């Protein structure tokens, strides 16, 4: 009832699966051996794709890939007819208005398991991969020359968020990554453009910094995590929205936010949305839950996800959809807390961390290498505090060197990549390496930050 499920959904088959063990079973008391019950259920329960196998070819490109040998690869399902390798086809598009042009499919593949298997032809309902058509992109329709009919699809939105990707310049630069230079970073980012049509990459005035634009924090987070796993080491800035000037008015991207929460959490969520300039559009009860729709600036959702999950005790569900541009809504506070910043470069000690934990929540464990300007914790006040986490208790004739073991530290807060990006303040950036994620100040030197902060007052 809470999920507002229909009778048909309640009568669907139930299986008990384990992704870690790769097993599925229909009986909870009988351990699964493999995923065969899941595949059998999909075949029996899900209807086969429908379409006219005798009609003229119609294939919508739903994804793209890239291979250094064959170039850009189109991926899609055949909506009608069949496709043959080395046969002439026509490429058209429902939205872009490009003139249809003729081309030829050079290579044709179908997916079997985790491999792409070459085939000579494929029928309606098959998902195929093909190459040979230059500049193929998502949304293009591959048709037979005898009947040119583009398939309608949802238009891909333009980027709304931008971040700066730069070469890592921290004291630990080059120690953990395999690809660390600006040349490596540039080649990897521009290579991503070949298979991600909603991404934009621009060279900035600084040769080692690139502006990367995407559809949201999650979009760019996936790119960052992928590059990290590939061995790249780099830094990323705080995400910012892309403003537009429409008829002389400064406009910003808006998001349509759908929230589903328990009834007792409505007040806290609406309070959060009010601070973030969110406007309530609709609110409907669904059993013991409330479903709300907001229209909120995209920048108002920075850092909201973690607060939302905390306020709803993990029971809240949120989804968002791009809602166009609207006039600028005014300033929105990004964060209401400050940072605990490492005072010097060294190794975090238990004694130093014990004294620092009274100032806020720590992010690191003892023996963690730190450097000046690195963010090691969160201050409850809206100001930054420098702490000496490398400080050790001096050995005297009155104390034993091992007395640090008696000190008890609070459990440090650990960030995922998405949480770390959400935490960033305007004067902070994220150091990303294959082994670690470190939050740091853009200007590492404490003296330089003070000069910058008070320079205007002294002038």
| Gap between the terminal Cα atoms of the chain | 65
318 shares a domain with 346? no
**Domain match, 349 and 322 both:** no
CATH number at residue 317: 3.30.70.240
pLDDT tens-place string over residues 55-89: 899 999 988 888 888 888 999 999 999 999 888 99
Which tokens belong to 83?
């496709």
| CATH, residue 365 | 2.40.50.250
| 347 and 450 inside one domain | yes
- Cβ-in-10-Å burial (0-12, 13-18, 19+) of 86 comes to exposed
Confidence of residue 35 (pLDDT cuts 50, 70, 90): very high
CB-CB contact of 167 with 181 (8 Å) = yes
Burial readout 147-160 (b: 16 or more C-beta within 10 A, e: otherwise): eebbbebeeeeebb
Whole-prediction pTM: 0.80
Q: How confident is the model at residue 394 (pLDDT cuts 50, 70, 90)?
A: confident
Of the candidates 298, 327, 356, which is a domain's last residue?
A: 327
> Are 323 and 342 in the same domain?
no
Q: How far apart are CA 163 and CA 16, in angstroms?
A: 41
Q: Are residues 363 and 446 in the same domain?
A: yes
Boundary-marking domain end, from 270, 293, 327: 327
Q: 191 lies in a domain?
A: no
Distances (CA, A) of 199 to 160, 229, 417: 10, 19, 19
Structural domain includes residue 373:
yes
In this structure, is residue 165 part of a structural domain?
no
- DSSP class of 226: H
Judge if 37 and 115 occupy the same domain: no
Cβ(283)–Cβ(255) under 8 Å? no
pLDDT on residue 458: 47
Same domain, 342 and 428: yes
Same domain membership, residue 349 and residue 319? no
Q: Is 355 a member of any domain?
A: yes
- Of the residues 126, 143, 160, which one is the last residue of a structural domain? 143
Residues 298 and 410 in one domain: no
Domain count, the chain: 4
* Choice among 202-211, 240-249, 387-396, 425-434 with the minimum mean pLDDT: 387-396
Same domain, 442 and 374: yes
CATH of the domain at 66: 2.40.30.10
Q: In terms of domains, do 367 and 317 share one? A: no
H or E segment and range at residue 38: helix 36-45
Q: Which domain holds residue 24?
A: 7-45
Are residues 348 and 431 both part of a single domain? yes
């Amino acid at each position: 009832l809470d999920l507002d499920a229909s009778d048909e959904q309640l009568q669907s088959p139930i299986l008990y699966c384990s992704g870690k063990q790769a097993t599925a079973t229909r009986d909870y008391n009988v351990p699964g051996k493999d995923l065969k019950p899941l595949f059998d259920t999909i075949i029996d329960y899900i209807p086969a794709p429908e379409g006219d196998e005798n009609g003229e070819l119609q294939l919508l490109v739903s994804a793209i890939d890239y291979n250094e040998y064959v170039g850009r690869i189109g991926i899609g399902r055949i909506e009608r007819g069949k496709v043959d390798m080395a046969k002439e086809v026509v490429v058209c598009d429902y939205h872009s208005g490009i003139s249809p042009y003729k081309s030829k499919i050079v290579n044709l593949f179908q997916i079997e398991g985790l491999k792409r298997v070459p085939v000579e032809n494929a029928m309606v309902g098959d998902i195929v991969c093909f190459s040979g058509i230059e500049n193929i992109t998502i949304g293009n329709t591959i048709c037979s020359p005898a009947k040119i009919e583009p398939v309608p699809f949802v238009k891909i939105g333009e980027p709304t968020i931008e971040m700066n990707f730069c070469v890592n310049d921290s004291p630990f630069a080059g120690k953990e990554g395999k690809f660390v230079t600006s040349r490596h970073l540039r080649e990897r980012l521009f290579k991503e453009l070949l298979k991600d049509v909603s991404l934009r990459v621009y060279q900035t005035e600084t040769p080692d910094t690139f502006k990367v634009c995407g559809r949201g924090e999650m979009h760019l987070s996936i790119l960052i995590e992928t590059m990290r796993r590939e061995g790249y080491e780099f830094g990323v800035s705080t995400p910012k929205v892309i403003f537009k000037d429409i008829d002389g008015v400064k406009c910003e991207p808006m998001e349509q936010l759908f929230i589903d929460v328990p009834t007792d959490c409505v007040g806290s969520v609406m309070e959060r949305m009010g601070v973030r300039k969110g406007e309530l559009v609709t609110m409907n009860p669904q059993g013991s839950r409330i479903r709300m729709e907001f229209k909120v600036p995209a920048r108002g959702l920075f850092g909201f996800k973690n607060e939302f999950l905390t306020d709803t005790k993990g029971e809240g569900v949120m989804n968002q959809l791009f809602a166009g541009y609207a006039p600028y809504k005014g300033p929105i506070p990004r964060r209401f807390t400050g940072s605990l910043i490492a005072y010097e470069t060294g190794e975090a000690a238990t004694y130093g961390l014990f004294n620092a934990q009274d100032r806020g929540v720590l992010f690191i464990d003892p023996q963690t290498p730190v450097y000046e300007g690195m963010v090691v914790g969160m201050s409850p006040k809206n100001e930054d505090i420098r702490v000496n986490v490398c400080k050790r208790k001096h050995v005297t004739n009155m104390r034993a060197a091992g007395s640090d073991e008696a000190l008890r530290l609070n459990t440090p807060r650990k960030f995922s990549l998405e949480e770390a990006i959400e935490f960033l303040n305007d004067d902070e950036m994220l150091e990303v390496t294959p082994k670690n994620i470190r939050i740091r100040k853009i200007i590492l030197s404490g003296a330089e930050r003070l000069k910058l902060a008070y320079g205007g007052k002294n002038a």
